[in-house]
Amino acid sequence: MSSNRAIVTGAAVRRARAIAEFEEWDFIASFHAKRVAEIDRTDDILLSKDLARREVTLELAQALHVTERQVWAMVSEATVVRERVPAVWSAFRSGEIDGIRVSAIADTAERLETLEAWAALEASAPDYASTHTIAELRAWLRRLRARLEPDQVQQETDRAVEERRVSISHNSDGTSWLNALLPTGVAIAVGDRLRRAARALPSMDRESGEKDRRTREQKQADLVAHWLTSCTGTSTDIRAEIAISISATDLIGLTDGPGLTLDGEPVGSAWARELAQSEHAVLRRLVLDPVGEVLDTTVLKYRPPESLRQALRWRDGTCRVAGCRAPVHETDLDHAKAYDSGGATTGSNLRCLCRKHHNMKSHGHLDDRYLDTPVRHVERYRRAAPTGSAVSGVLGGCVS
DSSP 296: P
Is residue 125 domain-shared with residue 222, that is, in the same domain? Answer: no
Model pLDDT, residue 62: 93
- Mean pLDDT in residue range 332-359: 88
Is residue 202 domain-shared with residue 140, that is, in the same domain? Answer: no
Last residue of a domain, one of 230, 255, 279: 230
Is residue 120 domain-shared with residue 31, that is, in the same domain? Answer: yes
- Cβ-Cβ contacts under 8 Å for 41 (sequence gap 6 or more): none
Nearest in space to 269 (alpha carbons), one of 146, 186, 164: 146
- What would the DSSP string read from start to end of 325-343? --BGGGEEEEESS-GGGT-
Is residue 79 domain-shared with residue 95, that is, in the same domain? Answer: yes
Is residue 155 domain-shared with residue 187, that is, in the same domain? Answer: no
Is residue 196 domain-shared with residue 116, that is, in the same domain? Answer: no
Last residue of a domain, one of 135, 160, 185: 160
- Mean pLDDT in residue range 88-112: 97
Is residue 78 domain-shared with residue 24, that is, in the same domain? Answer: yes
Report d(CA 391, CA 383) in Å as an integer: 6
What's the structural domain count of the chain? 3
Model pLDDT, residue 338: 86
Q: Are strands 298-299 and 331-335 parallel, antiparallel or unpaired?
A: unpaired
Instruction: Report residue 394's pLDDT band, with 50, 70 and 90 as the boundaries.
Output: very low
- Cβ burial of 173 (10 Å; 0-12, 13-18, 19+) is exposed
Report d(CA 264, CA 111) in Å as an integer: 20
- DSSP helix/strand/coil, 356: helix
Residue 253 lies in a domain: no
Sign (positive or negative) of CA dihedral 111, 121, 26, 79: positive
Is residue 113 domain-shared with residue 221, that is, in the same domain? Answer: no
Is residue 174 domain-shared with residue 131, that is, in the same domain? Answer: no
CA of 244: how far to CAs of 235, 280, 325, in Å?
Answer: 21, 14, 18
Average pLDDT over the chain, rounded to whole?
83
- What would the DSSP string read from start to end of 64-114? HT--HHHHHHHHHHHHHHHHH-HHHHHHHHTTSS-HHHHHHHHHHHHH--S
Residue 183 lies in a domain: yes
Report d(CA 180, CA 172) in Å as an integer: 21
Residue pair 128/140 in contact by the 8 Å Cβ criterion: yes
* Domain that residue 314 falls in: 298-370
- Mean pLDDT in residue range 36-45: 91
Q: Helices in the chain by DSSP H: which ranges?
A: 3-40, 46-64, 68-84, 86-93, 99-111, 115-131, 134-148, 150-162, 184-200, 216-230, 248-251, 269-276, 306-316, 355-362
Q: Would you say the pTM of this structure is higher than 0.95?
A: no
Residue 192 lies in a domain: yes
Instruction: Report residue 124's pLDDT band, with 50, 70 and 90 as the boundaries.
Output: very high
Q: For residue 108, is pLDDT > 90?
A: yes
Report d(CA 97, CA 103) in Å as an integer: 11
